[in-house]
Structure 1
């Protein structure tokens, strides 16, 4: 299978590198980073994180994910860190990132086996909010580890401007529960 496995806003560096970099809402193209396998943005706490998981797992050389840059309005960085720390909870057939403060922190488009493997095999480096290319490069260069046993290939459905609508009912429930508390 061709790598990266799914589309997105990223650039591919050295596919043999053990590091992936997510710059959240920051423009990675101006940072001049090097020595990474893949570097790109992640704006959303659901489809965006799922695409990161798919692409990271599809390259068995990657064992470290540096999460840095300006946080998005959807708190994708905070959600990634919550995922790493707390995992997901399953309720009403949905997988919600436990502890996420995002509006729609649901990872329903990829299998639970992929999420579990990501949590087990990938080290997350927290540089959320850090936009200093030198500091980010230092973390990239310090990431070491052995190649993972094998690539974990999963498919990712195509995402478009209407994909979020599957969560419309959950959004309404969340809004109503917040109104009732006031």
Structure 2
């Protein structure tokens, strides 16, 4: 299997490293980090997180995910941390990240088994808001690889600019709710 398995805004470092780094809305290129398997951005609380999960799980060496950098307007970092802490709710047929502040925090494009496995096998380190390369590099260097079971072959459907439309009614409902509360 060719790794990484899904496209995105990232660079591959040492595929043998146990560390993946998500810099959220910060430019990973300017941080000059090293000793990671994959490092890239994540802007959205749904498809972006799904791509992170798929690429992390599809490399059996990765056991640590560092979430750092400037938060995105979609609360991708907060949503990743909420996922790691609370999991997902399958209420209403969709898998919603419990406690996410994002408008459409649904992980419906990947198998529930992938989400469960991510929660069991990947240690998520919270450095949201941290953009200091020295601090991030120390976190990378402190991660020790732990044994993971063999990574399954995972695939991800193609996502385009129209993919969000299946959540259009939910977005409108959430936006109106936030306007009324405001």
Shorter-chain TM-score category? over 0.9
Q: Which residues of 2 match residues 15-94 of structure 1 at below 5 A?
A: 15-94=15-94
Give the corresponding residue for 1:145. Answer: 145
State the Cα RMSD in Å. 1.3
1:13-72 CA-to-partner distances (Å, cap 9, x unmatched) read 000000000000000001110000000000000000000000000000000000000000
Asked if the contact 2:24–2:77 (Cα under 8 Å) also holds between the matched residues in 1, the reply is yes
Give the structure-2-normalised TM-score. 0.96
Q: Secondary structure at the match of 1:124?
A: strand
- TM-score norm. by structure 1 comes to 0.96
Structure 1 residues 75-154: aligned runs within 5 Å: 75-154=75-154
* Unaligned runs of at least 5 residues, structure 2: none
Q: 1:178 to 1:150 in 2, by over 3 A?
A: same
Kept in 2: contact 1:66–1:125 (CA 8 A): yes
Q: Distance in 2 between matches of 1:23 and 1:53?
A: 15
8 Å CA contact 2:61–2:145 kept in 1: the answer is: no
In structure 2, C-alpha distance between the alignment counterparts of 1:140 and 1:180, rounded to whole Å: 42
Q: 1:157 matched to which residue of 2?
A: 157
